[in-house]
Structure 1
Amino acid sequence: MKVLDLHCRSEHVFEGWFASEEDFQSQLARGLVQCPLCGDEQVQKRLSAPRLNLRASASARAPVPTAEPSPAPQLPSDASQAAAWLQRMRQAVAQSEDVGERFTEEARKMHWGEADQRPIRGQANIDQTLQLLEEGIPVLPLPPALKEPLQ
């Protein structure tokens, strides 16, 4: 597994995991690689030290950072696990309420007990997301691809 540091035209930086350089180039050419923050398909590799995921054991997988103190979820180690993880994420999205641009307002209301707790999703820019995190409100940016069917 080849792990690449990528960025979009808006300079959002993110990782991509690919079987090989050819796999990355193929997915890029087919428009399958997009920024998880803004959905931009104009993605480029950044200069980075090569990193290969050669072991599939749980101890070799890096945890995903979260805003909550609970244990972080583990990244999937192969394609079938990745598909199952993506399906679980899509189910979570389907079971949440889309509050759109009211996301930060609704998250704050729930955090301060002014609204009932419920799973929500919506839009927030980077500054709004950072403000929520600084206030102790856990948020998780989701890639736009979660709303599309699995390939």
Structure 2
Amino acid sequence: MIRYSLVCDAGHGFDGWFRSSGDFDAQAGGGLLSCPSCGSAKIGKALMAPSVRLKGAAEPAGTPAREELPASAPDMSFTNDREQKLRGMLRELRAHMTKNSEDVGEKFPEIARKMHAEEIERRTVHGKATAEEAKALVEEGVAIQPLPTFPDEMN
């Protein structure tokens, strides 16, 4: 795991843990990161002091390895206004869809199958399904669509 010191465009600092620098880049590039203080999606890596080990000093047990960036590493480009507007539109879409549908929770795959097979009355529902359950529903011809999710909703 890699710990990065992150900062939003409003100057709020916080830490983030990632499997790799590529994982950070993918999440940041996909608009999946947001500031826990203000919700801003304009997140970049803050400058970090390199970890310097003194001769003979041992690394404390349980300290994860850190990936340090070279001093010349370019700053991550923040999401632009167009991406911010798109995220806002997706949040509005999600709010509209959840307001106008029934939350069936963990029973979503079962209820979706029953509606598809016309065993129960069709209605607009939303709920939870694992990736495997969602894949199986699609393979069975059940029309489903994931709701947009954002990092602050996953914590």
TM-score, length basis structure 2: 0.46
Larger radius of gyration: 2
TM-score, length basis structure 1: 0.47
